[in-house]
Structure 1
Amino acid sequence: MTSNVDATPAPDAGPTPVRLLLVDDDPLVRAGLSLMFGGADGVEIVGEAADGAEVPARVAELKPDVVLMDLRMPKVDGLTATEELRARPDAPEVVVLTTFHADEQVLRALRAGAAGFVLKDTPPAEIVSAVRRVAAGDPVLSPTVTRQLIARAAGPDPYSDRRGRAAARLAVLAEREREVAVAVGRGRSNAEIAAQLYMSVATVKAHVSRILTKLDLNNRVQIALLAHDAGLLEAEDGA
């Protein structure tokens, strides 16, 4: 008896799109971003929010993978929203939208767990790429901007012994983990770290994962900030 069941395998649906939530108080900016991401492969806008106050409810409802977050909003600013969001379990990644690449608020957002930032005048293709990269676990900071941000973040602090506190936190790392942390702080990719330290990329990834766990950090950017705070990058910075 011939079966009427179609045995043809279902076509491969491809990778699941990155679920993106847009947060900006300017409706024109949101409209522009919606138009831009609407034509991009691999990213799906699941919703919008006009203020940081709306973010918790929208995230709970829509379950985005990434939140593209403006900083300057009238009720609850993006910094506060980022801090509150990243403190939650299973929080989505956050990419900060900003006009100034050396804004102190951006530094605070990175310390709070944002995976990076993009400038509002960044070319559309690069903004789309940034969202994809963050969803894949990579921070979005160019080497030049990383150095500028980290240097400013580690500047004089008259109210605390930032270096001492950072060094004390890093003391829990094994020697190899410390070497990897320094390389991360200098903006090296996993492949570059593997070549520099004569280990496999898989081993580098394992070290980075252990560093994040031991230091209770969210991402590589925070490792870089902590390494610079502890003074571990000064030899290269002063070269």
Structure 2
Amino acid sequence: MPSPSPRGRPVRILLVEDHDMVAEAICLALERSPDLQIVGRSASVGSALAEAERCKPDVVLMDRRLPDGDGVTAITDLLALVPDVRVLILAGEGSGSVAARVAETGGSGLILKARGLSELEDAVRRVAAGEVVFSQEFLGDVLGRLTGRTAVLGANLTPREREVLHLLGEGRTTAEISAQLGVALNTGRNHVQRVLEKLGARSQLEAVTIARREGILE
């Protein structure tokens, strides 16, 4: 039997998920429990902010990747609109860096979709009760980042190198990047090489893959 809500009423949940079949499955699973209630659904960051302001949920269960933005980045805006809301990020894949970013921005946790619906139900209840919940494989990274024991990958990228990384993410070649930045081709190559070195990547494609996985690129 589920434990009663600490509020003496069902936990009010705003679900933010852009895949209809996934959203339906989550809604059906959560609403089987009398202590959990879906009070709103959204499929984008923009509509989630509007819905959160309208329905004042206890918990926002938000997909990390949405059509108009990053769910982790949206945490700050959600907390500004509903200061007491708890935000639980739901991700298809994740990393210690992303999990740490959730914690640093005021989120209440990150759980992987592969964990299953029963674990998701438990995570929602725990978050509503004031706990912070992260999938087990990310806990060490979250604690390390928050205590300063672990360096954040990509934190040492300069603004110019971040610009180069974003251009790599758009599929630009080194020649195109050099032209875009207005620098010589050799200078452009040096910028790209430094990005690869700082991310521990052996190729431009691997650098982009690492950056997306770590939440440096969205």
State TM-score, norm by structure 2. 0.61
Alignment of 1:71-82 (within 5 A): 71-82=64-75
Match of 2:151 among 123, 146, 155: 155
Equivalent pairs, count: 147
RMSD across aligned positions (CA): 2.3
Alignment of 1:59-74 (within 5 A): 59-74=52-67
* Cα distance, 1:144 vs structure 2: 4.7
Alpha-carbon separation, structure 1, partners of 2:111 and 2:69: 20
Q: Which residue of 1 aligns with 2:77?
A: 84
Match of 2:25 among 22, 32, 45: 32
Gaps of at least 5 residues in structure 1 are: 1-13, 161-239
Alpha-carbon separation, structure 1, partners of 2:123 and 2:34: 13
Q: Which residue of 2 aligns with 1:46?
A: 39
Q: Which amino acid aligns with 1:82?
A: I
Q: Which residue of 1 aligns with 2:125?
A: 132
Alpha-carbon separation, structure 1, partners of 2:136 and 2:96: 17
Q: Which amino acid aligns with 1:29?
A: V
Alpha-carbon separation, structure 2, partners of 1:105 and 1:144: 12
Alpha-carbon separation, structure 2, partners of 1:105 and 1:142: 12
Alignment of 1:10-25 (within 5 A): 15-25=8-18
Alpha-carbon separation, structure 2, partners of 1:127 and 1:88: 25
Change (3 A) 1:88 1:57: closer
* Cα distance, 1:114 vs structure 2: 0.6
Q: Which amino acid aligns with 1:62?
A: C
Q: Which residue of 2 aligns with 1:116?
A: 109
| Aligned partners of 2:111 and 2:135 also within 8 Å | no
SS at match of 1:67: strand
Q: Which residue of 2 aligns with 1:191?
A: none
Q: Which amino acid aligns with 1:60?
A: E
* Cα distance, 1:152 vs structure 2: 5.8
| Aligned partners of 1:97 and 1:117 also within 8 Å | yes
